[in-house]
């Protein structure tokens, strides 16, 4: 069950899976730190 929910796209996340959304937010934070 957790695996299914973790890997299916969610409309609230613009069609991203929770994992993809997490990866994107981590990348955004890294880019923001580099630009400071």
Mean pLDDT across the chain: 82
- Integer Cα distance of 4 and 29 in angstroms: 27
16: phi then psi, degrees, rounded to nearest 5 = -90, 155
Q: Cite the DSSP H helix spans in the chain.
A: 2-7, 18-34
The reported pTM is 0.57
pLDDT at 33: 80
pLDDT of residue 23: 92
Q: Which residues contact 24 (CB under 8 A, 6 or more apart)?
A: 16
CA distances, 1 to each of 4, 5, 12, 13, 34 (Å): 5, 6, 19, 19, 37
What does the pLDDT look like over 1-36, one tens digit per residue? 567 767 788 888 889 888 898 999 888 888 888 776
């Amino acid at each position: 069950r957790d695996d299914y929910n973790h890997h299916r796209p969610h409309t609230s996340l613009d069609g991203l899976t929770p994992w993809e959304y997490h990866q994107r937010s981590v990348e955004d934070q890294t880019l923001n730190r580099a630009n400071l």
